[in-house]
Amino acid sequence: MSHNTGALAGVKILDLSRVLAGPYATQILGDHGADIVKVEPPLGDETREWGPPFRDDDGERGPSAYYVNINRNKRGIALDLNKSEAREVVWKLLEDADVLVENFKLGTMERWGMGYDAIATRLPRLIHARVTGFGGEGPMGGMPGYDACVQTMVSLPNCNGSPASGPVKLGVPMVDMTTAMNLTIGILLALNERHRSGKGQFVEVALYDAGLSILHPHSGNWLMGGKLPKLLGNAHPNLTPYDLFPTATRPILLGVGNDAQFKKAMAVLGIPHVADDPRFKSNADRNTNRPALTELITKALATRDGVATTMELLNAGVPAGPLNTIEEVLTDAQTAARGMLVERNGYRGIASPVKMSRTPSSTRHTPPDFGQDNRAVLQEAGYDAPAIDRLIALGAVRTKPQGA
């Protein structure tokens, strides 16, 4: 195990969550030193089966890449929380924990006698962090939510796509990931506030709310001016030129944020006179005359190399980027220079993007197999070998996925 250098060393988190938002949040916290104990149900975290690809364990099918990608820096145990003995294990594990993370259907924890009121009474310093689809209020309160469904409900596809394609959901689970990041922020806020009050609190992030929070700038455009988004493909709704343009090799994204950058970009592209054209003097002018400007830039780029032009633009102080494949970006020199890939005992993943000078992130645990740390975690909690054997015999602690 690597040395724990993280800012959250000493913080213990019991993670009852599954799928994406909760597990990604706890991975973020684990990367920065928190001790994460992942509790899986009898069937296991369902994302273990979300493949291919699957890990090959000496010819045996291991967990999916999806599961592995968001569950490092955790120890894993498996409990059947429908059994009272398993719930008592959870209470025992929570005695010295700082945070409980879960994403059960609303009412489940309460039915088990483990809702926040019970937690606050029994463990007043514990922070209870919950992911929900829609929260508990409103006409959708208590209903389940998955990323793509919530993307659609909060209108993200109407901010994406082109007139030819129609509305298109984002190609990554942005609502789940944003929910995870907000949950992480909420947990850190609650931990910080606890230094002052000595008390824990309930932290909730709903996918619906997180989805609404990333509608910028379209939410502001409507709230201020009643302006609805148009299907602009890769173009920006408020800036021009800010779009993906073809070149002789690969497309590049030209992102001009002000008039000075516009002048520099036109000079690099060999059409400096365009910056003096009255139609394009300001961003408002450029937006009004977007089709004409797009045509001029497209023509100027038609014979250029995309990567070389990107570097010319960047060296001139103009934001730009080539359209890379996943393989190209994961093998890029910049990715390596930033230490953004981690490898450990056959595991490969994306490193934490948060770089800290004194307390850097680390990879101490590879993603746990089902029930991998049952005995170690329970022994730490004070259970002796006969007590653990009894819990296994009762089915409260599981050593293999149900049906395996």
Choose one of 293, 322, 351: the last residue of a domain: 322
For residue 178, the domain's CATH number is: 3.40.50.10540
Choose one of 261, 294, 322: the last residue of a domain: 322
Beta bridge partners of 242: 255
Query: Mean of the pLDDT values across residues 227-249?
Result: 92
Q: How far apart are CA 213 and CA 210, in angstroms?
A: 5
Same domain, 17 and 122: yes
For residue 283, the domain's CATH number is: 3.30.1540.10
Same domain, 199 and 148: yes
Point out the residues that are catalytic: 176
- Of 164, 148, 90, 156, nearest to 123 by C-alpha is 90
Secondary structure element (H or E) that encloses residue 74, with its range: strand 74-78
pLDDT band at residue 193 under the 50/70/90 scheme: very high
Q: How far apart are CA 80 and CA 26, in angstroms?
A: 21
Same domain, 352 and 208: yes
Same domain, 41 and 102: yes
Choose one of 271, 287, 322: the last residue of a domain: 322
Domain presence at residue 228: no
Domain presence at residue 286: yes
Spell out the residues 6+ positions from residue 233 whose beta carbon is closer than 8 angstroms to its own.
Answer: 161, 162, 243, 244
Same domain, 268 and 209: no
Q: How far apart are CA 383 and CA 87, in angstroms?
A: 14
Same domain, 64 and 198: yes
What domain range is 284 assigned to? 252-322
Domain presence at residue 71: yes
pLDDT value for 250: 94
Domain presence at residue 156: yes
Same domain, 48 and 134: yes
Same domain, 206 and 354: yes
Same domain, 134 and 179: yes
Query: Mean of the pLDDT values across residues 103-113?
Result: 95
The pLDDT tens digits for 355-403 are 999 999 999 999 999 999 999 999 999 999 999 999 999 999 999 998 7
Residue 404 has pLDDT above 70, yes or no: no
- Of 347, 370, 350, 348, nearest to 48 by C-alpha is 370
Domain presence at residue 82: yes
pLDDT band at residue 147 under the 50/70/90 scheme: very high
Domain presence at residue 160: yes
Q: How many domains does the chain have?
A: 2
The pLDDT tens digits for 287-346 are 999 999 999 999 999 999 999 999 999 999 999 999 999 999 999 999 999 999 999 989
Sign of dihedral through CA atoms 158, 179, 343, 56?
Answer: negative
Query: Is the separation of the CB atoms in 94 and 126 below 8 Å?
Result: yes
Residue 1 has pLDDT above 60, yes or no: no
Q: How far apart are CA 32 and CA 20, in angstroms?
A: 18
**φ, ψ for residue 336, nearest 5 deg:** -65, -45
Secondary structure element (H or E) that encloses residue 35, with its range: strand 35-40
Same domain, 53 and 155: yes
Q: How far apart are CA 400 and CA 404, in angstroms?
A: 6
The angle, 0 to 180 degrees and rounded to 10, between the axes of the packed helices 259-268 and 306-315 is 140
Beta bridge partners of 342: 349
Spell out the residues 6+ positions from residue 191 whose beta carbon is closer than 8 angstroms to its own.
Answer: 11, 98, 99, 127
Same domain, 154 and 291: no
Domain presence at residue 329: no
Same domain, 302 and 361: no
pLDDT value for 2: 67
Q: How far apart are CA 292 and CA 334, in angstroms?
A: 35
Could you tell me what percentage of the chain is helix, strand and coil, using 3-state DSSP and rounding each to the nearest 5? 40, 15, 45
Domain presence at residue 229: no
Q: How far apart are CA 269 and CA 271, in angstroms?
A: 6
**φ, ψ for residue 110, nearest 5 deg:** -65, -40
Q: Which residue has the tokens 């307390």?
A: 359
The pLDDT tens digits for 33-54 are 999 999 999 999 999 999 999 9
